[in-house]
Each structure stands twice: as structure tokens, then as C-alpha cells.
Amino acid sequence: MDEIPLYYAFSLSLFLCCAMAHDFSILGYSPDHLTSMDKMVELFESWISKHDKTYKGIEEKLHRLEVFRDNLKHIDKKNKEISSYWLGLNELADLTHQEFKKQYLGLKPELPRKMQTDYGDFTYRDVNHFPKSVDWRKKGAVTLVKNQGACGSCWAFSTVAAIEGINHIVTGNLTSLSEQELVDCDREFNNGCNGGLMDYAFEYIISNGGLHREIDYPYLMDEGTCQEQKEDLQVVTITGYHDVPANDEASLLKALAHQPLSVAIEASGRDFQFYSGGIFDGPCGTNLDHGVAAVGYGSSKNSDYIIVKNSWGQMWGERGFIRMKRNTGKPEGLCGINKMASYPTKTK
């Protein structure tokens, strides 16, 4: 990485008071930003204002500019190489790749998944016909994308999204539920901001008699003290959960045609960090490290995809969602999405 000129320390202080407005393209930058340090500084300040960023001092801000510029070089390079999807500047653009992986993931696949002898077999095993496309957002079963922040609580967001979906399907009510309750209270196997698994979260909600609404137990982006359940507060219950047969995309689609699912993926790639739109087709492996929710599937221009709800805010990806390529020919699916899917059950 080239050194940043020393004069930037002075010019940066001027921008602290008067960040310039900027009319970004879909990618959030232009070629001028990569060739001119003044334009780079201007872009950085506009980005800071857009994402409401604050830094402790000039040294930290200089460091974040270096990281920002390095990330922008990666984004520009990859956008010249790929065509099915594109990358852009987002809230994560001042984080190194290592910082991003440490702060924004949180799945713990090394935890043993509990065998579900109490909950029966795969519900949708005998389904033979299902629609060519499904979008649970259009059916009113998906809440707005939330933001886990720098807390490895993705497992809680994945769990909640699946329960919000089945609750709407069964009751007709779309109720935003509390990830914070899981972060604070589900501690037998899961570990708050330090990661967990969706199946254990389902177990906790069943044994606890339900999950509170988000309005009653709001998210903190940090670990808090578990608040005991209050009888006068509404909870949403589930009756059980099931695992989708691993490495079986047909089974995944059978289940997804009937309800949103909790799924796990490898999301630690640098392209995933800056995904902005299109049908994502890699690069990524199958070492699961992030919990998300599958909320539909479809096709576009002869390319099949799964619609995935992430938990990195609405300014990441396609308003917080990503379309991930399916029918890759690999049993585990792109980024391992077919390896560890599950879903809650609920009766009226």
C-alpha cells in the first residue's frame, strides 16, 4: 500500500467540520477517487458522514483512511473481473478483513448439533411439487433487515428470522422478536456475542415457553443481563424444530417453499464483506461461520438463486439481502448453504 502524504493530516482536519456531499454511483465511487488523494479524502469524508462514523483521534482516522483506500482498491479490481454481482462501499469499508471476520460473524459449527428424536422426521420429505419461485418478503413473513453490529450474534438473528416467518404463516401476524433475549439468556450452549448455533436457540425458546417481542426486549449490539420473563408481556412460541437433510438442495427448496429457514454459510470472504448487488457466485468455501435466513428462491437471466436475509443492516447488499447462486452442482451448495439448514414448527 502506498504511503499517505503527510499533508493529509492537515487537510483532514478541515474536512472534520465540513464533509462534502457526494452523489455516488451505484458502486459509491468513481475512477477519480483512485487516482487523486484529494478525491479519496473527499470520498472518505462523505462516507463517514453517510454512515455516521466517529474516531477517537487523528491517528485512528488516518489508519482508517488507509484501510478504506485498500478496500476500495479491492472493490474496484474485483468489479472489473466479475459480472454476475458487484461490490461497493458500505458500513464495513473501514474494517480490515481480519477485523470484519472477528466482529461480524459468530456461528459455532464446532458445537455438536443435538439429535432431534423428540421432534420427528423432516416434515417436507414427501413434497413432490413446489413453486418455481417463492419470496416470503412479498407474503409479509419477513421483518425489515436488522443490524447485529460488532457482536457475533448472527445465530440469534437467524433463529429469530425463521420464527418470525412461521409465526406469520400460522397466525397472520408479523411480529419482530428479540435477538437480545437469546444473547442474554440462552447460555447453556450458546455464548452471546461470542457465537452459537440456531438449533440450540430453538431448544431454548421451546424450554423457555417462548420469545419476547423486540419492542419489549430491544437489541443492544452487546451482551446484557438476562431479564426474567414477565407474565404481562407477550411472547411468541414454537412447538419444535427440524433439521433439513444436509447437502440436499432439493430438500432445502421443499422446506423453503413452505417457510423461511435458518441456514449457515461461509461469509468470511472479502467479496462477501462488500457485496452490493447481483447474484453472488463466490468465491467462498464451505467452512460455516455465519448464521443467516433463507427467505425465498427464484431465477433471473437463467441463473437460479436463493434469497438470503443477512443481519448487517439495510445498507449492506440489496437492502440487507443477498441473492446466492443455487444449482451449483455441489451437494453442499454455494458457501455451504445446504449443509446446516433448520426450521421451527408451530401449531395454531
Amino acid at 128: N
- Rounded Cα distance between 239 and 24, Å, is 48
Amino acid at 138: K
Q: How do 303-309 and 321-325 pair as beta strands?
A: antiparallel
The grid coordinates listed for 213 are 417481542
Catalytic residue of the set 33, 212, 242, 290:
290
The grid coordinates listed for 190 are 450458546
- Rounded Cα distance between 308 and 296, Å, is 7
- Rounded Cα distance between 320 and 31, Å, is 26
Catalytic residue of the set 154, 185, 193, 284:
154
Q: Is 151 an annotated catalytic residue?
A: no
Catalytic residue of the set 147, 190, 191, 310:
310
The grid coordinates listed for 94 are 473501514
CA dist list (Å): 127 to 75, 130, 246, 341:
42, 7, 17, 17
Cβ neighbours for 92, distance < 8 A, ≥ 6 positions apart: 100, 104, 273, 274, 312, 316
Catalytic residue set: 154, 290, 310
